[in-house]
Structure 1
Amino acid sequence: MKKLVPILLLPVVLVLAAAAFAPKLASDARLRAEAVAAVRAATGREPRIEGPVGFSVLPWPAITAEDLTVDDEDGDSRLMVPRLRVVLHLLPLLTGQARADHIELASPELSIVGSEASLDGFSALVAGLGTSRLDADIRVTDGQLLVRHGNVSEVVIPRADVRLAWQGMKEVALKGKLTWRGEPLDVDFALSDVARLAAGGGAGLRLSASGPPAEFSFDGSVKLAGGPVAEGQLAMSSRKLRDTLEWLGLDAPTEQGFGAFALRGQALMSDQGAALSSARLELDGNVSEGGFNLRLEDGRSIVQGSLASESVDLTPYGQLTIFDSDDGTWSDDPLDLSRLARLDLDLRLSATRVRAGNSQFRRMAASAVLKNGKLSLAIGEAEAWDGIFRAAIHVAPGPNGAGADARVDLAGDDVAFAKAFGDIFRSQRLEGKGSFHLTAGGAGESIAQIVTGLDGDFTLSGAHGALVGMDVGRILDRLAKRPLSGMGDLRGGRTPFDSIELSATIAGGIARLAKFEVESSRLRIAMNGKCSIARRDLDLSGEATLMGSKEAGTQVASFELPFIVRGDWERPVVLPDAQLLIRRSGAARALFGDKLNTLDPLGVSGSANP
């Protein structure tokens, strides 16, 4: 025990010795010179101390100073420290030498110029650090980072509590916590071979940041000569990308989706942009591989990329529908496309399998191009609905930036109509296989206005299918025998056909049938009229013909029925021409006589032709 007493008393002796030698450092000039020397060794720049300086022994020998300022040579960056504390090594102090163990900065403020000149200032700062021989820690408490734009300063990092480990010209490491955009982040930074970096060579760079919004890491190299360039492995992830984009001040392009996200690849970054190769992107359970390029031109961000996937599920981003709404009416909500003007995008996507709601696509090649606020989405070709599908959608801001100008081009070859129209238009009233082509466009400040002024055309041809919602053959058989028995609603059943042909023009939100013909061995149907897309209703007339036996090799009509179609798209009403049915009834002729020619008991037998 007695042998341990000297060891236990050693700290006391050292403190007393430090107190004895403290007066040697106690003069204001000496303390100020030692503080300036410590900061100069750490930064490579000449500091200014405008406040008082002092020396304390307990709890550890330290030099204190107030109102410290460090500027770079060009004035692009400035470090202001209200209170500085240089904690000294004890043993050198016993010989009258002041050697820093670590430097404590309380509430420091670092401001840099928000322009390209700031990169030069940063390079000059690193050059200064590369000549520093300081081997100490710098501990920052409640620090701030500001970016100056002219006479206006923006607080980028309002709070930082970090520890900067300095190993002379060899390595700089920073670790701690900071706040950015209102969220706390854990940061870990390491820069090796600082002297080589300052001399124009390359140095190792490792950086990671993690917090509630996202996680980021980079492991590679950096050089500053000729402009800063970093190359290495980049990784980013987020539990919910939508929240991360909102944190960054960006809007997600869709109202749904953008959940779990991860991205990694080989990155090459410079002040002109960034390139990511051998990239692997995971978003909402989808995995894609490819590459991206990001560059800056005239203050605009331009993103180019190409991705390939084995399987893509678009269900998280909403149902694939065109010209439909949940409550059966078109939306009057104002359209705002201002977010499209924030960047330019050129993205290519290829996938073996794609799922969009109930739709299944195979071998799809698609693209999304956004330039100067104008968006173009295209599916070059995809296997869908047992056939081939192509699509193009073009959207641009309206005059003065209000509303939108939209154009749609959809085409299907040898597709199953029930599947295709059920997925696109949410209507399954047509069965069979064939081809269709829709081109339509309009402009307005809301979807309702666009639909009201819609222009375009629609064509369709198919075979071996059926019209769902009425059995025309059964109705004609019954009416041929008892004409008056058919008065009423003719909905229900199916009407098989061998072929169908349809063509329509769209003008001012009204689709006008130029041709609608359905044929089978039993019957023929022809219709014309109009359909209001804006009001979603029908005003059609037609004639159904029941075919009889063949005479001289030609099939002749055995019964003809004119009819009309009224009502909305979802619940159309099909009614026969009442006058004609009464005329064909012998009992009715005896009752009405000559008045039969003007009789219209239902008031619906007038022509529906425009």
Structure 2
Amino acid sequence: MAQGIKRLGISVAALIAVAVISALTLSLLIDRGAMRQAVESQLRAATGLELAIDGPIEVAIFPRSYVTFKAVRLKSSEDGGGDTALSVDTLTATLRLLPLLLRRFEIADVVLFQPTIRVIRDADGGSNWTPFIKSLTRTMKPGLDEQVSFSEIRLQDGVLNYQDDANHTLENIGDIDLSLAWPSISRTFAAAGQFDWRGERIDGSISVGDFIQALAGDRSSLKLRLAGAPMKIAFDGAIANRSSLVLEGTLTADSASLRNALRWAGQEPPGAGGFGRFAMKARANLVGPSIALTNVNIELDKNVAEGVMTYTIASGHQGLQATLAAGTIDVTPYLSTIKLLTTGARDWNRQLFDLGAANPLDLDVRLSAAKVVFGSSTLGRTALSANLRGGTLALSVGEAQVYGGIVRGTLGVARSQNIANIKTQFQFNDVDLEACAADLLGVRNLSGRGNLSIALEASGSSPFGLAQSLDGSALLTGHDGAITGFNVEQLLKRLERRPLSGGGNFRNGKTPFDTLNVAVRFSDGVATADDVRIDGPTARVSMTGTASVPTREYNLKGVASLAKASGGAPGFDLPFIVEGPWDDPLIFPDPESLIRRSPASAPLLDAVKDRKTRDAVRSVLERITGGGRKAEPDAAVETPAAPGAPEPDAAPKAN
């Protein structure tokens, strides 16, 4: 046994020695010039392209057989001139060992180190690679004798420069490390590897079912995969390229952050919220610069929709059209950064708008949804369209169920440098006034149902700037509701009996109304109330005055009236004043009117002719009646009259 192992070891060693001696002898006997010419000939025969070698050539036989060419360019056999479509720092062709022992030179694989690939697409759709593809197609045409092929071509540390003159596009892909399975027995072509694109490392693979047909422009199966940190994309279908590039198949894409993916693709998404988790699957049909997506199933930030989409690139500009239907859409993440008011809702936000997008994507989107959620508000069945072109947004709400009613209208947002120009028209029909007024106007003491029409324009670099320039009009009509926070009827009846009794606790309760009409004009941020009328079963209120939109304060005067008595006697009229912030205004009766109604105080006010003295007396009386401040509860009573004067609520004595 030991003797056999020993003899086997000696035999193996002898074979190795013989092989080494044979290789050394072969390296001395092989014609290196013929070896170089054979490699060049096989490369030309396999690709249809000629080598233009500008550098030295190295030939090695042992221990590894290869031919290395420095500073290589490929030139088309058609034009006969130099072409920089492909230049390679070092091209190494490794030879198969067994044929080499028989003095035949056959390439096993080819390595292109630091290749630079330059693709230029002209305005007519042609390319500097067109003659190369034609030569390759003729070379690989079936039926030709003595076809030469090799198993693999590897690209190491390569660079691809793409220039599209038609769409004014420049792309640079670096650090390319790809392995190409060159078609030999079968017609399948495959490539897989990695490359750097826009600062991200991308894994990619491509498989062509019939490489020869694909080169000729005929239909062939195609599988494509791209995977990186920004996004994953996969296509499985067919390709053809007769008059223009055509792709048909299933397209899938997903991303952990669509915002990051859009930025990687050169598009700055609006705002700072939303555009997170994204996934899409669709049937794709690409013809030239346009790709149509049908049977689209798309998910964004847990919002799911179905429909059709079309994406187009023309003259370097990108456009997206979409018609989508969804169940529930939550737009809160996209509106969360649009803060009109500062913390506490006491002042407008003065932070400047971010209007820096230079070349935005053109959008034309139509969306229908069973429910749309934004913040604490919810829209029912909604149909809307949005058009974004050249940085100008046009939003149209065909119909939306909101606040228990229907809303229709348009919103336009244009930009001029850092200034936003906004124009809007909306009609709210038969809505719940309590929810509508609270969300849109910041008024939280109104209930009932009604209609609201607004037509507004504003320009500014911040929400505060918009408030300062607000122009337009608003019309509110309501019915069968109430104004909470004070009871007009109770107040009027108390003051009718005892004018100087103070307001009492009239900031509680509510004032019911049958009809409500509010007409307001806006000019440079000042709202002027032309017609404010509240008609209730027992009281009526009318108001005029102004309200400052930038400071969010009222400055209104009005008259509250008790309804006429059944006998036809005139009702009690009380002028009043509304001042202070929108969310907590002061409402108090006009003190001079109360003084004149008091039999004890009216003669005193008339007797004081001097203006300074009259104002001083009025100031004292205002403090007595509670005017200009919040009245205390009914503990406030009328001040006793001067000696000899009649009782406040008694009829004056005859002279």
Residues 73, 84 of structure 2: 8 Å contact kept: no
1:273–1:20 Cα change, 3 Å: farther
Question: Per-residue deviation at 1:588?
Answer: 2.8
- 2:583 pairs with one of 570, 590, 596: 570
Alignment of 1:414 with 2:421, yes or no, is no
- Counterpart of 2:177 in structure 1 is 161
Residues 27, 62 of structure 2: 8 Å contact kept: no
What is the aligned-residue RMSD (CA, Å)?
Answer: 3.1
- Counterpart of 1:68 in structure 2 is 72
- 1:484 pairs with one of 494, 500, 504: 500
Larger strand proportion of the pair: 1
1:425–1:12 Cα change, 3 Å: farther
Matched residue SS, 1:534: coil
Report which stretch shifted further, 506-515 or 126-135. 126-135
- Counterpart of 1:89 in structure 2 is 96
Question: Per-residue deviation at 1:114?
Answer: 5.1
- Distance in 1, matches of 2:312 and 2:169, equals 26
Matched residue SS, 2:601: helix
Matched residue SS, 1:108: strand
- Counterpart of 1:21 in structure 2 is 26
- Distance in 1, matches of 2:528 and 2:216, equals 76
Letter aligned with residue 103 of structure 1: V
Letter aligned with residue 198 of structure 1: L
- Counterpart of 1:497 in structure 2 is 513
> Larger radius of gyration, structure 1 or 2?
2
- Distance in 2, matches of 1:408 and 1:107, equals 58
- 2:240 pairs with one of 223, 226, 233: 223
- Counterpart of 1:375 in structure 2 is 393
Question: Per-residue deviation at 1:140?
Answer: 1.6
- Counterpart of 1:304 in structure 2 is 321
Letter aligned with residue 386 of structure 1: G
- Distance in 2, matches of 1:311 and 1:537, equals 38
1:238–1:149 Cα change, 3 Å: closer
Q: What do residues 379-424 of structure 1 show as CA deviations (whole Å, max 9, x unaligned)? A: 11011111111231111223xx451321011211111011223333
Letter aligned with residue 568 of structure 1: P
Alignment of 1:349 with 2:367, yes or no, is yes
1:251–1:105 Cα change, 3 Å: same
1:207–1:247 Cα change, 3 Å: same
Alignment of 1:195 with 2:212, yes or no, is yes
Matched residue SS, 1:255: coil
Alignment of 1:459-478 (within 5 A): 459-478=475-494
- Counterpart of 2:413 in structure 1 is 395
1:209–1:351 Cα change, 3 Å: same
Question: Per-residue deviation at 1:225?
Answer: 1.5
Letter aligned with residue 391 of structure 1: G
- 2:41 pairs with one of 26, 33, 37: 37
Residues 112, 118 of structure 1: 8 Å contact kept: no
Matched residue SS, 1:485: coil
Letter aligned with residue 22 of structure 1: S
- Counterpart of 1:138 in structure 2 is 153
Q: What do residues 119-139 of structure 1 show as CA deviations (whole Å, max 9, x unaligned)? A: 534454444444344231111
- Distance in 2, matches of 1:76 and 1:484, equals 102
- 1:241 pairs with one of 243, 251, 258: 258
- Distance in 1, matches of 2:532 and 2:8, equals 109
1:190–1:89 Cα change, 3 Å: same
Letter aligned with residue 465 of structure 2: Q
Matched residue SS, 1:167: coil
The runs of 5 or more residues in structure 1 that have no matched partner are: none
Question: Per-residue deviation at 1:10?
Answer: 6.4
Question: Per-residue deviation at 1:469?
Answer: 3.0
- 1:429 pairs with one of 431, 441, 445: 445
1:181–1:12 Cα change, 3 Å: farther
1:590–1:118 Cα change, 3 Å: closer
Matched residue SS, 2:501: helix
- Distance in 2, matches of 1:415 and 1:490, equals 28
Residues 320, 423 of structure 1: 8 Å contact kept: no
1:374–1:155 Cα change, 3 Å: closer
Residues 107, 144 of structure 1: 8 Å contact kept: yes
Matched residue SS, 1:514: strand
Alignment of 1:100-119 (within 5 A): 100-113=107-120, 115-116=122-123, 119=126
Q: What do residues 263-314 of structure 1 show as CA deviations (whole Å, max 9, x unaligned)? A: 1111112332211111111100011111111223444222211111122111
Report which stretch shifted further, 429-438 or 414-423. 414-423
Residues 36, 59 of structure 2: 8 Å contact kept: no
1:388–1:118 Cα change, 3 Å: closer
Residues 476, 517 of structure 2: 8 Å contact kept: yes
Residues 341, 349 of structure 2: 8 Å contact kept: no
1:405–1:489 Cα change, 3 Å: farther
- Distance in 1, matches of 2:172 and 2:429, equals 55
- 2:60 pairs with one of 43, 56, 62: 56
Question: Per-residue deviation at 1:71?
Answer: 3.6
- Distance in 2, matches of 1:566 and 1:12, equals 110
Question: Per-residue deviation at 1:16?
Answer: 4.9
Residues 338, 373 of structure 1: 8 Å contact kept: no
Question: Per-residue deviation at 1:253?
Answer: 2.3
TM-score when normalising by structure 1 = 0.90
Question: Per-residue deviation at 1:159?
Answer: 0.9
Residues 491, 503 of structure 2: 8 Å contact kept: no
1:408–1:159 Cα change, 3 Å: same
- Counterpart of 1:559 in structure 2 is 572
- Distance in 2, matches of 1:324 and 1:495, equals 29
Question: Per-residue deviation at 1:55?
Answer: 2.6
Residues 126, 194 of structure 1: 8 Å contact kept: no
Report which stretch shifted further, 542-551 or 183-192. 542-551
- Counterpart of 1:289 in structure 2 is 306
Q: What do residues 147-198 of structure 1 show as CA deviations (whole Å, max 9, x unaligned)? A: 3589x99661121112111123712211111111111111111122111122
- Distance in 2, matches of 1:473 and 1:26, equals 118
- Distance in 2, matches of 1:243 and 1:308, equals 25
Question: Per-residue deviation at 1:329?
Answer: 3.4
- Distance in 1, matches of 2:221 and 2:389, equals 37
- Distance in 2, matches of 1:271 and 1:188, equals 22
1:191–1:483 Cα change, 3 Å: same
Residues 489, 573 of structure 1: 8 Å contact kept: no
Report which stretch shifted further, 353-362 or 448-457. 448-457
Identity %: 31
The runs of 5 or more residues in structure 2 that have no matched partner are: 141-147, 629-655
Q: What do residues 477-517 of structure 1 show as CA deviations (whole Å, max 9, x unaligned)? A: 33233322325895444322222111112222221111111
Question: Per-residue deviation at 1:521?
Answer: 1.2
TM-score when normalising by structure 2 = 0.84
Report which stretch shifted further, 175-184 or 502-511. 502-511
- Distance in 2, matches of 1:428 and 1:38, equals 86
Matched residue SS, 1:292: strand
Report which stretch shifted further, 590-599 or 514-523. 590-599
- Distance in 2, matches of 1:153 and 1:83, equals 29
Q: What do residues 94-120 of structure 1 show as CA deviations (whole Å, max 9, x unaligned)? A: 111121221112221112225446753
